[in-house]
Amino acid sequence: MIHDVIVIGGSYAGMAASLQLLRARRSVLVIDAGQRRNRTASHSHGFLGQDGVDPAVIARDARNQLEAYPTLTWVEGEAASVTGKRDAFVVETVGDQTYHTRRILFATGVTDQLPQIDGLAERWGRSVFHCPYCHGYELDQGRIGVIASGPMSMHQAELLTEWGAVTFFINSVLSLDPAAQQVLEQRGVMIENTAVLALTGEADVQLADGRTLSFAGLFVAPTVTPSTTLPTKLGCTIVEGPMGQMIAVDGAKETTVRGVYACGDVAQMPHSVSLAVGDGAMAGLQLHRSLVWPDMHA
Ligand SMILES: Cc1cc2nc3c(=O)[nH]c(=O)nc-3n(C[C@H](O)[C@H](O)[C@H](O)COP(=O)(O)OP(=O)(O)OC[C@H]3O[C@@H](n4cnc5c(N)ncnc54)[C@H](O)[C@@H]3O)c2cc1C
């Protein structure tokens, strides 16, 4: 059998794309490894109609709705290789299953590269966050610690003053010139130059000079990379954005390889569930149009 579309990555973006295609009665095979980016968070915020809901519940309900369409096939697993060309792609999974398809959609998300600080990774999504729109409100205008990870951290420290009193831990990652210091001071940001040793408790920062400072929540700006190298191996162009790497796409969400599309965090910035769903819906309808009108270009 040859599927119309194989969607690699069955989270918010991949499912939103699949829904459009299934409603056009197209055959869709979703391959999903089950590693949603927000899997460590217990509440998702900012997605209209689902504000505060467990992100696993949002994903489960969406999948249940997709399963009602008879042209869906869902494979739990990991795509290991993609070869071929438009109208004749072959996808192999880690379990050595082989599938054929006319179009490919990468909705594979990104991986966060976090600073190597003791206690940070296990608090990611629980009391250490990156997106103020997702998790800032719940901190109730309390004390917020921003731990520098790169140039985006300066922007993050400035912005977060909208949500609480900010302490900015430079941690030898940045060197602030006088102009940058002045901008931060004008926003009321407290600059802390002592090295961060570890995170403890709920959101406590242990410093090299023996002090421990407590916060309502902590923020870092991770650098992101695509979760899989499959698009690169297939020849898709990868570009550098302000938060890290992403797959280059045109207005129809097609990559630089004909017949291969990408959506969600891996193909657009900034990142959120709403934006991933919107981007996925766009990819789904553009994929459908490319099947109806194969000569169409964005
Ligand atoms: C800690 C944290 C908290 C967040 N909280 C919020 C929030 O409150 N509100 C909000 O709007 N946004 C939040 N976000 C952002 C949100 O999680 C992302 O924007 C969203 O998950 C992107 O959806 P996506 O479908 O593009 O990718 P993802 O959700 O990352 O899904 C990608 C999927 O592709 C799969 N995959 C990857 N490679 C392969 C492969 N080779 N084969 C098969 N499957 C593969 C993965 O396993 C995964 O299931 C948060 C992010 C983080 C890190």
Q: Is 84 in the pocket of ligand 1 (CB under 6 A)?
A: no
The residue whose CB lies within 8 Å of the most ligand 1 atoms, and thus the one to mutate among 11, 50, 58, 75, is: 11
| pLDDT for residue 296 | 77
Which DSSP symbol is given to 139?
A: G
Q: Is 32 in the pocket of ligand 1 (CB under 6 A)?
A: yes
Q: Are 218 and 129 in contact (CB under 8 A)?
A: yes
Q: Is 138 in the pocket of ligand 1 (CB under 6 A)?
A: no
Using CA positions, which residue lies closest to atom 12 of ligand 1?
A: 272
Q: Is 4 in the pocket of ligand 1 (CB under 6 A)?
A: no
Q: Is 95 in the pocket of ligand 1 (CB under 6 A)?
A: no
Over residues 235-294, the pLDDT tens digits come to 999 999 989 999 999 999 999 999 999 999 999 999 999 999 999 999 999 999 999 999
Query: How far is residue 11's CA from residue 15's CA, in Å, rounded to a whole number?
Result: 6
**CA of residue 276 relative to chain centroid, distance:** 8
Q: Give the pair of three-digit tokens for residue 61.
A: 């309900």
Q: Are 188 and 159 in contact (CB under 8 A)?
A: no
Backbone φ, ψ for residue 233 (5° rounding):
-65, -30
Which among 14, 41, 40, 44 has a CA at the least distance from the CA of 29? 14
Q: Give the pair of three-digit tokens for residue 111.
A: 């991986």
Q: Is 136 in the pocket of ligand 1 (CB under 6 A)?
A: no
Q: Is 282 in the pocket of ligand 1 (CB under 6 A)?
A: no
First to last CA, the chain: 29
Q: How far is the CA of 200 from the centre of ligand 1 (A)?
A: 26
Half-sphere exposure of 157 (CA within 13 A, CB side): 30
Partners of 110 in beta bridges: 226
Q: Is 132 in the pocket of ligand 1 (CB under 6 A)?
A: no
What domains can be seen in the chain, in order of their start residue? 2-112+223-292 (3.50.50.60), 115-220 (3.50.50.60)
Which among 205, 163, 161 has a CA at the least distance from the CA of 183? 161
Q: Which ligand 1 atom sits closest to the C-alpha of 35? A: 47
Bridge-based pairing of strands 128-129 and 238-241 is unpaired
Q: How far is the CA of 255 from the centre of ligand 1 (A)?
A: 20
Half-sphere exposure of 18 (CA within 13 A, CB side): 32
Over residues 131-175, the pLDDT tens digits come to 999 999 999 999 999 999 998 999 999 999 999 999 999 999 999
Bridge-based pairing of strands 196-200 and 2-8 is unpaired
Over residues 63-99, the pLDDT tens digits come to 999 999 999 999 999 999 999 999 999 999 999 999 9
Q: Return the SS3 of 3.
A: strand
